[in-house]
Structures are given as structure tokens and as C-alpha cells.
Amino acid sequence: ELQIYQFPTPEKTLIDTVKALSTHPEHPPLYYLLVRIWTQFWMQWFGNSVAVFRSLSVVLSILTLPCLYWLCAELFELSLTRSLILSLVAVSPLHVLYAQEAREYSLWILAIVLSGAALLRAIRLQTQASWRIYAATIVLGLYSHLLFVWVAIAQSLFVFVHENFQRSKTTASYLRASLIGVLGFLPWVLIAILNLSQLGKIVDAAIKETSPFYLFFVWSRSLNRVFLSADFDASIDRWSALDRWFRNFFSGYFQVDLGFSQLILVVVTFVSLYFLGRHAPRRTRLFLLTLIVTTAIPLMLPDLILGGTQSTRIRYLIPAYLGIQMAIAYLFATQINTLKRLHKAIWQLGLAALILGGIMGCLNDLPQQVTWNKDSKTEDYLPISQSINQAINPLVISNTSAIRVLTLSYQLDADTKLLLLDSDQIPQIPTSFRQKFLFDPSDELLEQFERRQIQTTPIVESKIQLWRLQR
């Protein structure tokens, strides 16, 4: 019964959805409006199902592939490069996992790719219609995710450098289109300004003391997850004596665990970027390097200097990883296209290993109850739900956030009863239940039970807690 509140009802309109989202301005409303319309339509045939929610992300991710081919057609002359980037993205554990998430990242990826292709097309055609399309993609991107701002800045830097910082028809058309896009996003900017305190809490939560070596490790691990998978890396590479040597070496010096495949991917990435900078056409080189640098450095540099964890969240660096994937595809395609048979065979073997690693990584992630893209607190739900489901006639009492209760409800038996509180005051608790649990209670609620001489025994003590109540 609790889960029905996740699904749209006729009593609530799209305006109500926007009002609810306005209290969380870090999440622009476009994806959530789309998922509401999508879910309300398909619920007529499939009912209240999580699959209905997630199917929109699947469709958006599938639409990304032809848009990505269009972008690569604008960027690369060699057709093999277009095929390789599609292959790398299609088997990327990062993209496959977020294609299954009922979150805005699939729409954001589509907007990143679509806006890049529209910009290159507008520069090539120089027509009013093409620039209007680009302006529309700017609005689409900004309403998809706030970090699209860095993508837009990367594109502006690309245009100005491409035009040698001179006044031209291209720069004038670009500025007009960008202005239209920014004006279209202005209503949400005003909402964000009115809720600056909420944005400040999110920024403050990400500020932590971190070691630079730890950051380097997480960045390399994230690169691993774009092409392979952390779990796949651990299960396969640990058989390698060379890998164990690398892990022991780096653990001894930097207190991190840096596997051999991660090191190889870091090397391949730097080689790809070097090759791109030296051999790619100027337009291709500028577009990809501005995309990678402009979207990564603003997150990485503050974490290195001030301390923080923004850059450790792989989803925030999706634009940069897209650029890296295209750079690596360009490197492999160029080398495979060579006339030297042995040279070509070596690069083909490396490409096959990369694609096979991606497929195996996706297959390895498939049966996982908690995948690596989830918050670390998600792992706590498994032992909590197992303890509750093993109990006879349980009652779960909680005053935690609605999202945590909803998350837990999907792992509980259907007949489990919940008593949800909106304060720290203890209500009348039914005596018909054999076992009673406290799920993630506040400190004040725990104190209330202790004052009433109700014994609270911790069962799961982690970021999310479970307690048993006994008189």
C-alpha cells in the first residue's frame, strides 16, 4: 500500500509535481515531468510497476545511440570510429546501469550528445533553423541536470577557440542561440535562488577531508567502471600475480588499492588524449578536449585543493567520460585502419579485450542486488530486510524519511506492517504483533522508548539502523 504513493494519481497535476520539485532545485523538473506522463500512460496496461518507471530511462538510453552516431558523424571522417564508439557505449557498465535507473541521468546523457551534434551541425550549415535546434538542446540540457552548465561552457569555449576569438557569423549565431537557451532556463534559476539554503546543504555534505592519493584512486576506479566493472576487475584480475604486485605496491605507498587493469586504462586514456591532441583534426581535437577538461576540472580541482567528494561521484563526470570514450574509440579506429597487418592485429586484439571486458562487467553486475552505482547506505537495507522478514508477525516503526521507508518496503514481505511517525512522540503501539522493530529512528525517538522503559536492542548498526523493541 505504501508504494502506491510513488505513482501518479488523477488528483495531482504536473503543476503539483513542479511545486514538489521546487523544494529540491538541484533536480530540474524535466525528467520527473516526463516520467510522470510516461508512467500515467503505461499504468493503464501494466499497472503500478517499477519496470514502468524505469522503462523511460531505457528508451532514452536507446535514443542516445543514434544521436551519438550523429555526433560522431559530425566529428570523425572515419566511419570505423563511429561504430567503435557505439560499441563501447553499448557495453559500458556505466551506461547500462544508468539506463536501468529511474533517475535523470539517461536524459542528461541524451541531452549532452544531442546538443553536441546540434552545435556541430549548426556550425556546418549556418542556417537559422539549425541554430534554433541547438538553442532547444540547450534548454533540454539545462532542464535535465544542473551540471549541464559545464557542458554549455565547454561548448562556448570550443566555439570561441574554433573561431580564434574573433567576431564572426558563427560566434554571433552561437551567442544568440545560447542566450535563448539561458532565458528558457531562467524560471528554474529563480526557483534555485529562492532555495539557496537547500543547495548549500548539498554542497556542504560533499565537503570532506580527502587525500589526493585517495582521489586519484577513485578517479581511476571510476574509469574502470566506465569500461569494465569494479566487481569484474576484482574477480578476474586478482588471479594475476602482476596485478597483485601492483595492488600491494600502491597499497603500501598510498593506502589505496589500484589494480592492474585500472592502471592500464589510465595509461590508455592518456595515450588516447595525447594521440587526439597530436593527430586529430583541429575541430575534433578542440571539441573533445574542451568537453573533457571543462566538465572535469571544476569538480576535481576543488576536491584536490579544498577537500571534497564531488568528483568521486561517477555520475557527475559523465560528460568527461563520454569524451574519453570517444577519444579512445578514435585511437583504436585510427590504429586499426593502418595497412600494417601485425600492427592492426594487435590493436584489434586490444579492442576485443576492451569490448569483452565491458560485456563481462555488465553480466557480472546483472545479478547484483546492490550495484556499485548505488549509495553506500543501500547495502544496509539487505541485512535489515532479512532480519525483519525472518521475524514472525513483525511490526516496523519508523520516523525516518519517506524515501528510506519506500526503499525498504520493496525488500519486505508483502504482509509486513509499518507504523510511520511524523514526530518523535510514541503513539499507541498495537499489542497483536509478536516482534516489533525500530527502523532508522531518530535519537529523540530512541530516548522516548527508553523513558517508557521499553528495551531497545540494536540488530543492525550502520549508517541505517535497525533496533528490536522488548519490554
Chain position carrying cell 589526493: 212
Q: Give the burial class of 200: count Cβ atoms within 10 A of its Cβ; 0-12 exposed, 13-18 middle, 19 or more buried.
A: exposed
- The cell numbers describing 32, all together, are 520527473
pLDDT of 449 reads 83
For a pLDDT cut of 90, what percent of the chain falls above it? 50
> Which tops the pLDDT comparison, 145 or 239?
145
Question: How does pLDDT run across 400-427, given as a tens digit for each residue?
Answer: 888 888 888 888 888 889 988 877 777 7
Q: Answer whether 141's CB lies under 8 Å from 182's CB.
A: no
Q: Residue 7: which pLDDT band, with cuts at 50, 70 and 90?
A: low
pLDDT of 448 reads 84
Question: How does pLDDT run across 247-297, given as a tens digit for each residue?
Answer: 554 444 444 444 677 888 999 999 999 999 999 999 999 999 999 999 999
Residues 6+ apart with CB under 8 A from 451: none
Nearest to 334 by CA among 357, 351, 320: 351
Mean pLDDT of the chain: 86
Question: How does pLDDT run across 34-77, given as a tens digit for each residue?
Answer: 999 898 888 778 777 778 888 999 999 999 999 999 999 999 99
Beta partners for residue 460, in sequence order: 466
pLDDT of 250 reads 47
Question: Is a pLDDT exceeding 50 seen at residue 164?
Answer: yes
What average pLDDT score do residues 299-305 get?
A: 92
Q: What is the DSSP letter of 239?
A: T
Question: Is a pLDDT exceeding 70 seen at residue 195?
Answer: yes
For a pLDDT cut of 70, what percent of the chain falls above it? 88
Pairing label, strands 394-398, 417-420: parallel
CA distance 107 to 216: 28
Q: Residue 236: which pLDDT band, with cuts at 50, 70 and 90?
A: very low
Q: Which of 214-223, 344-353, 415-424 has the lowest mean pLDDT?
A: 415-424
